[in-house]
Amino acid sequence: MCSNEPVAVRTRFAPSPTGRLHLGHALAARVAHDFARGHGGQFLLRHEDIDVTRVRGEYFAEIEEDLLWLGFAWDGPALRQSSRLPAYDAALDQLRALGVVYRCNCTRREIQVELAAMLAAPQGPEGPLYPGTCRPPGGEARQHGAPTGHAWRLDSRKAAELTGPLSFVDLRHGTLTVQPELLGDVVLARRDIGTAYHLAVVVDDAYQEISHVTRGEDLLPATHVQRLLQALLGLPEPVYWHHPLVLDAQGRRLAKRHDALAISTLRQAGLSAAEVLQRLDEPQNT
């Protein structure tokens, strides 16, 4: 792209329909919506519904109803990741051809046992990392095969060797250097659903032509992996904006357990959309 060509701004809100939207989601949606509208751009909705073990059908409509009530209408039809599985398979094939993924048969229990036996278990921002049990010693990916019965993991070291140094731009933090091993050898295809979050997100951010990925700062570590995947797959590089999170009274980030702070609960309690959104601007949000 010519450097002085204006970038068409496209943002997205990408909830998982595994629970009701809460104040944290309202903030994420507002950031993405207002950024797009403020730049004359488009705001898209993507349901991240690949985890069939946790998705519940009723949440799709509830999420859309909440967004419309809050005043965040999206452009075009909402995308459902469950309709995009062949695209994720194709991306995994590409990574297999590059030799940067390997099969992993470890159970969660086996990983825990191995980590417990290690003198210095590898640590990531949110706890211990996969210890590399199934990583092929020569760095060669194993045989092709259907992604069932075993997971596929990213060989983060090998991937980084292939791409060389990478960075990404965050509107809050500036230019950040990718730390390819920050989250270790993440799973790119779960054994039960054949794909996984990081892979699906990068494929769809490119497919939906997202120029600016806005999301909570809890996902900042994920961006390191996702930028690496974009480079491996030859996908465009969005600009990022990791915004601060809405916290509960104890300073913890909101989760599904905060049902009292669900948008639908607040609405049923008689709050207006403006009152709900106002809470996002108060220092003590909840």
Q: Which residues contribute to the site for ligand GLU (CB under 6 A)?
A: 14-16, 48, 201, 215, 219
CB of 215 to ligand GLU, least distance (A): 4
What are the residues facing 205 on neighbouring strands? Answer: none
Q: CB-based contacts of 112: which residues, under 8 Å, 6+ apart?
A: none
DSSP secondary structure code for residue 217 in this structure = G
Sign of CA dihedral 232, 130, 109, 81: negative
The amino acid at 151? A
Instruction: State the minimum distance, in angstroms, from the CB of residue 246 to ligand GLU.
Output: 13
Select 63 or 92, whichever has its Cβ closest to ligand GLU: 63
**Closest distance of CB 283 from ligand GLU, Å:** 24
Is 85 or 219 the residue whose CB approaches ligand GLU more closely? 219
Q: Which is nearer to ligand GLU, 16 or 285 (CB)?
A: 16
Task: State whether residue 123 is helix, strand or coil.
Answer: strand
Least distance to ligand GLU from the beta carbon of 111, Å? 23
- Choice between 29 and 104, CB closer to ligand GLU: 29
**Is residue 57 a contact partner of residue 49, using CB atoms and an 8 Å limit?**
no
d(CA 264, CA 145) in angstroms, rounded, equals 44
d(CA 197, CA 193): 11
Supply the minimum distance, in Å, between the C-beta of residue 16 and ligand GLU.
Answer: 4
